[in-house]
Amino acid sequence: MAYEAQYYPGATSVAENRRKHMSGDVEKLREVSDDDLTLVLGHRAPGSDYPSTHPPLAEMGEPECSIREIVEPTPGAKAGDRVRYVQFVDSMYNAPSTPYFRSYAAAINYRGVDPGTLSGRQVVEARERDMEEIAKFQLETEMTCPALASLRGATVHGHSLRLPEDGIMFDMLDRCRLENGVVIMHKDQVGRAIDKKVDFGKPMSEEEAAKRTTIYRVDNVAFRDDAEVIEWVHTVFEKRTAYGFKPE
């Protein structure tokens, strides 16, 4: 019997969205070109080669190792890319994703990545071209709303603040702005001005954000509305308590 991966319990829209994010089966909503992505990440000049920290693996003469034979290196590792990061911040006002679900998406669907979850932000470290693939995937799909989530390498402050009047998550470095109905980024993720404005498209309407969010909220879908989730959470807590952290 073919195994079908199960990601998250529950029958509500939030549970369904959580399953989508974890499985990587998300809808593509917008296009971000490679040059634009490179500009906002700010690690290298658009169009330039990937700087490397070691020669390509094929030229290095790797030692004999059965694991190396089994595991195909990622393109970035193969080419010897530097390790670089991308960091996302999500608003608590019905942002499509949350730090944990960004980490699940990266860890389950990509290899050679190091996702880190903090209270309001999520960082993925990986070889440069692998990291860019993940960043692009998250930016282009329904995992990101340009108004309620943004790329922030430094000063992540803003995710738990009220939204400003225009609905674009507060950013003290003012990287994102609403211009002519679309969200543009005119600085890179750490706040350095960039040569051109990068268009991330229209922000989601409040209704759409509420429909696509993975956040349980009492003013949208409450956590306690989902009986199956509650049951599983209780099961996990019960087992943890019964067996302790070190079952013997």
Partner 1 sequence: MVDSASNTENLIQIEIFPRRLLSPETAKELLVELSKIEGITRAFVQGPRLPVTVPYGPATGQIVNHKFSDTIRIGETDISLAVIVGRIRLEVLNSEIRDNIREVCERLLPMGLEFREGLFLPTRQTVSDYAKRGPGADPTVLGLTDPKGKVGNRICTLNPAE
Site string for partner 1, 155-184 (x = CB under 8 A): x-xx--xxxxxx---x-xxx--x-------
177 neighbors 186 (Cβ within 8 angstroms): yes
Q: How is residue 103 written in tokens?
A: 């980490």
Comparison of 50 and 170: residue with beta carbon closer to partner 1: 170
- Cα 70 to Cα 148: distance, rounded to the nearest angstrom: 41
Q: How is residue 168 written in tokens?
A: 């674009």
Q: Is 190 in the site for partner 1 (CB under 8 A)?
A: yes
Residue 42, amino acid:
G
Q: Is 116 in the site for partner 1 (CB under 8 A)?
A: no
Environment class of residue 127 by beta-carbon count within 10 Å: exposed (0-12), middle (13-18) or buried (19+)?
buried
Comparison of 56 and 164: residue with beta carbon closer to partner 1: 164
- Cα 101 to Cα 16: distance, rounded to the nearest angstrom: 12
Stretch that binds partner 1, among 60-68, 128-136, 149-157, 222-230 (CB under 8 A): 149-157
Of residues 202-241, those binding partner 1 (CB under 8 A): none
- Cα 165 to Cα 229: distance, rounded to the nearest angstrom: 34
Stretch that binds partner 1, among 96-104, 185-193, 224-232, 239-247 (CB under 8 A): 185-193
- Cα 132 to Cα 97: distance, rounded to the nearest angstrom: 18
Interface with partner 1 (CB under 8 A), residue total 22
Site string for partner 1, 3-42 (x = CB under 8 A): ---------------------------------------x
Residues that bind partner 1 (CB under 8 A): 42, 153-155, 157-158, 161-166, 170, 172-174, 177, 187, 190-193
